[in-house]
Chain A
Amino acid sequence: MASIGEWFGEQGRRILILFRGARFDRELDEEMRLHRDLRERERRGTGAAEREAHFATGRRFGNTLELRERGRDIWGWNWLDHVARDLRYSLRVFRKSPGFTIVAVLTLTLGIGVNTAVFSVVNAALVKSLPFPEADRLMQMWETYGGHAISEQREASWPNYRDWVAQQRSFDAIAGYWFAQFTVTENREPAILRGGLVTANFFSTLGIQPLLGRGFSATDERPGAGHVAILSNALWQQKFGSDPKVVGRSMDLNGVNFSIVGVLPKEFQFAPLGASEIWAPLIPRPDQAARRNFHWLHIIARLKRGVSMDQSRAEMAVIALQLAEQYPDSNSGTGVRVITLRQEVTGEIRPVLLALFGTAGLVLMIACANLANLYLARAAARQREVALRVALGAGRRRIILQILVECAVLSLAGAALGFLIAKPAVALALHEMPSDILLFLPFLKTVTLDRTVFGFGAGITILTSLAFGLIPALRASRIDVNETLKEGARSSEGVGRQRTRDLLVMSEIALALVLLTGAGVLLHSLSRLLSADPGFDTQNLITVDLSAPRARYRDAPSINAMQQRLFAHIAPMPGVVSVGAIDTPPLMGGGTVSVSVKGRPVLSLDEAQEVNTRAISSGYFRTMRIPLLSGRSFTEQDDATHPKVLVINQTLARILFPDENPNGRQLIFSGLDGQPTAQIVGVVGDEKLGPLDSAVTPIVYDPLLQDASIDPTLIVRVSNHPESQALALRAAIHEVDPQLVIVDLTTMEGVISASPATFLRRFPAMLIGVFATLALLLAGIGTYGVISYFVVKRTREIGVRMALGAQPRQIMAQIAGHGMRIAAAGIAAGLAASLLLTRSLQSLLFQVAPFDPATFGCAAALLASVAFAACYIPARRASRVDPLASLRSE
């Protein structure tokens, strides 16, 4: 038994000799020459003739070269020589069959590259998206309420938040946050900074320490405390040039002086406020602080160690019940929802990513099947070559080693290329994401290639290529040399291998079909979504999100006057059809209150009708082309000096006034202070205020002139080419007031295409579509390869049959029939498997069932026609076989 030490000693000596290759040979030669010389002299001594002695010695010594080889073999480095030779040989082989080489390397590249890219993104989003210590204990909390159609969860109110904080025992800390926009003026150009308003314990709840300075403290929240702010790392770099002494400096936000107390670390990201560049303490306004039915606060919490989510949920449910008893007016029916922060952050994008992950896996499987097929075909084609080498004395080990080297070269080339394309692939995929969505997925900005999954993908494909390269090699090295060389083309390949190849192509077709149907249902659902009527005319509309400086526009009359000036300035512009305004950007949703009908029994808050409210200008309906169904629209007379008026949508009219004329009736805003009332003057058609895939909600419109908004969205209808109007519109707005901030100016179609509802369908549809195209290509190549090979193998048989009078048509039918039978089996299997994928995509589907007959039919037809084309070419070649030539060729 050799000890470990001895083993290492031996390897050490082996390695030493490796570096002395040439000298090793020389020394052995010299040693043996001495031996031979001495032996020869000995012979001469015994009287043998000199020539005779020389030859006798040579004979005894045997082949000097072989001895040297054996010497090297003993030191264990001969294989290196062989590998080098095999490498050269492989490269020559690849040059001779560029088609095979390119397809094999590309297959490997795609399989590895796509998987590395997709998994890196998935990993960044689902695993690395919460860069906080013990991130799994971080929770998001929402209020819930029952009985209403619009949404189940809502932001918490400040008094409820305070009560939760005071009563709970399950959490280490509960912190609140809210969105904010700050106007900063720099070089006279007003700009918007996105910010977060947070309670003092926000950063400590996340477990984050500022890079510079301090976090917020309770004193910052006291009334009368000076304004303080914390900078994001990016803002610190851009605006302050990473000044290490920035703490203590100050900056103007909304015309108020804030002193900077801290800078956040570079790695810090909080996805729900992903866009935030600046942070300030959250100090609720008096109405926000006092009203229990004013829902605006977002809440995170850190679960105590040893407390389960279920325990915390149970405790919060009890607290919510007590609060409901204590404050029935505002809290009856109100509950608390506790979900993980991870779910909050990645919940929406998770199904997309998982679908991508799954489909990338399918691409990898197809790549492996294709690779296996390529190798099998090649091994068959090279049987004669191998037989020749065996006949010339190549050992079995040498043949196998040579094929292994070939596989390794191909695999490594594919893996290297795959790794190279992974990074651009990630960038390309992220490029397709709307910037608004990327803002809230900050973790995607720092996607790094995942080495583990690259290793996994590379490993799987390399194993496949080795396995399928080697099986034929093992078989080939055992072949009967004489028979193979003699029989040539009529090679003795068994039925078994043909069946393996058929099966591989079948599974390729099945997998490709799965991808095709997946992409198909997503595309179908996307087109359904985009053609779904949102209730307004989406074409030729420009939307402009504006923000007006607070210091300049302090009251409703000044705000309204500014907006009237804007309308008056924009309406006569060339190409402008009409202009309107609304207080909330389109497709944003939100902004709900409870209403009840005056003259009917008073309802409690959770029984009252929840509606969306929107303040609009008199030109809004005309500009959006929302039809007026009865009564009248708003006019310039509906201002603060006239009675409050409302327009409701059809859905609300149907709910509240199924059998009456709503015009003239009064609505009470039961959730608002003083329970104001207003009169309904008209009913309009339904429009979607929320995402395109959401249901139509009941809406109450009131005039901007009676309900001013300092940050309205202008809606401009133009006669054509909305993109080309952007510059003129910008100029016109700044002519009215250069201090107005244009937060966003885009076309309505741009808004729709960048909205999450669209993106969440378009993005996977696009990527899976790319995968499906690749899969289709690979399946086509696979089918073509198998059928071509099928034909080559049967050339002689075909020749005989044609000599016996078979028609080309019959030959074609036989060949194509074989291919189409494989395709049919693959398609059948694929349709069944497709249901699994489309089911998992269900949450992304819009008005399309997972089993969508149209899509499934189209995908199957497409695949069948590709398979047919792939069969047709070799089948046609077969039908043109010259019987004489085919029989003679052997």
Chain B
Amino acid sequence: MHKDEIPPGTLYMLIFRTLARGQEMHGFEIAKSIEQMSKEVLRVEEGSLYPALQRMLVKGWVKAYWGVTSENRRARYYRLTLLGRKQMEAEVSQFERVMQAISRVIEPA
């Protein structure tokens, strides 16, 4: 089964969008959610997911707390902060601008 790597820089946005639905998720749920939403096209490298989450914690975009999964295992749950929501809007609108620009260039005239 072939899965595409996530283009660099867009991982934050995907995490934002995933968390923006208002649910608190732990790391694996975030990864699964991204994969499912992308219809299994995008694959989240765990090696980049956790550093990205750490960086978002540093920036104050997400908050984390320890909770328990349905299977009774300890897990760290992440939640979007107000600051994170603002950041998300900025990043999404910037991404859309860039995407439109790119598609204008690559679409055949």
Contact = CB atoms under 8 A, between A and B. Distances in A.
A35 B58 contact: no
A31 B76 contact: yes
Given A27-B76, A35-B50, 10 more contacts: A10-B59, A14-B58, A30-B76, A32-B27, A34-B27, A34-B74, A60-B47, A67-B50, A75-B54, A75-B58
Contact of B51 (A13, A31, A74): A74
15 contacts: A9-B60, A13-B57, A28-B54, A31-B50, A35-B27, A35-B50, A60-B46, A61-B47, A67-B50, A71-B54, A74-B54, A74-B58, A75-B54, A75-B58, A76-B58
Contact of A74 (B27, B47, B55, B60): B55
Interface string A70-95: 11001110000000000000000000
B60 A62 contact: no
Nearest to A13: B58
B58 A61 contact: no
Interface in B60-105: 60, 66, 69, 73-76, 83
A27 B47 CA distance: 16
A38 interface: yes
A39 interface: yes
A6 interface: yes
Interface string B18-46: 00000000111001000000000000011
Nearest to B76: A31
B5 to A, nearest CB: 12
B28 A71 contact: no
Contact of B58 (A10, A28, A38, A62): A10
Contacts of A70: 51
B1 to A, nearest CB: 9
A13 B60 contact: yes
A28 B50 contact: yes
Nearest to B46: A61
Contacts of B58: 10, 13-14, 74-76
Contacts of B57: 13
Given A6-B60, A35-B31, A30 B55 contact: no
B58 to A, nearest CB: 6
Given A6-B60, A13-B58, A60-B45, A34 B83 contact: no
A485 B76 CA distance: 48
Nearest to A64: B47
A70 B26 CA distance: 19
Contacts of A34: 26-28, 69, 73-75
Q: Choose among A13, A61, A67 the residue with the greatest number of B CB atoms under 10 Å from its CB.
A: A67
A39 B74 contact: no
Contacts of A61: 46-47
B83 to A, nearest CB: 7
Given A13-B57, A14-B58, A71-B54, A35 B74 contact: no
B69 to A, nearest CB: 8
A500 B59 CA distance: 47
Contacts of A35: 27-28, 31, 46, 50
Contacts of A10: 58-60
B87 to A, nearest CB: 10
Contacts of B55: 74
Interface residues of B, number: 22
B27 A31 contact: yes
A155 to B, nearest CB: 77
The DSSP consensus for interface residues of chain B is helix
A235 B75 CA distance: 78
Interface string A680-716: 0000000000000000000000000000000000000
Return the 9 tightest CB-CB contacts between A and B, nearest first: A62-B47, A74-B54, A38-B28, A35-B28, A31-B76, A74-B55, A70-B51, A71-B54, A61-B46
A76 B54 CA distance: 11
Nearest to A71: B54
A30 B50 CA distance: 12
A560 to B, nearest CB: 97
A76 B58 CA distance: 9
A14 B60 CA distance: 11
A390 B54 CA distance: 29
A4 to B, nearest CB: 14
A74 B28 CA distance: 20
A524 B69 CA distance: 91
A70 B59 CA distance: 16
Contacts of B51: 67, 70-71, 74
B85 to A, nearest CB: 14
A381 to B, nearest CB: 39
Contacts of B28: 34-35, 38-39
Contacts of A9: 60
B46 A6 contact: no
B37 to A, nearest CB: 17
Contact of A31 (B26, B45, B59): B26
A519 B50 CA distance: 69
Contacts of A30: 74, 76
A60 to B, nearest CB: 6
Interface string A99-136: 00000000000000000000000000000000000000
Interface in A25-60: 27-28, 30-32, 34-36, 38-39, 60
A39 B46 CA distance: 10
B14 to A, nearest CB: 16
Contacts of A74: 51, 54-55, 58
Contacts of A32: 27, 46, 50
Contacts of B76: 27, 30-31
A10 B87 CA distance: 15
A35 B47 CA distance: 11
A79 to B, nearest CB: 15
Nearest to B57: A13
B75 A31 contact: yes
Contacts of B73: 34
A89 to B, nearest CB: 27
Contacts of B66: 27
A16 to B, nearest CB: 11
Contacts of A38: 28
Interface in A5-29: 6, 9-10, 13-14, 27-28
A10 B26 CA distance: 22
A36 B59 CA distance: 26
A725 to B, nearest CB: 84
A6 B45 contact: no
Contacts of B83: 6
Nearest to A14: B58
A301 B104 CA distance: 88
Contacts of B26: 31, 34
Nearest to B30: A35
Nearest to B53: A31
Nearest to A68: B50
Contacts of A14: 58
A60 B31 CA distance: 13
B55 to A, nearest CB: 5
A13 B61 CA distance: 12
B46 to A, nearest CB: 5
A37 B58 CA distance: 26
A74 B52 CA distance: 9
A816 B47 CA distance: 62
A157 B69 CA distance: 103
Contacts of B27: 31-32, 34-35
Contacts of B69: 34
Contacts of A28: 50, 54
Contacts of B74: 30, 34
Contacts of B54: 28, 71, 74-75
Nearest to B47: A62
Nearest to A63: B47
A34 B32 CA distance: 13
A860 B87 CA distance: 72
Contacts of A31: 26-27, 50, 75-76
A503 to B, nearest CB: 48
A23 to B, nearest CB: 11
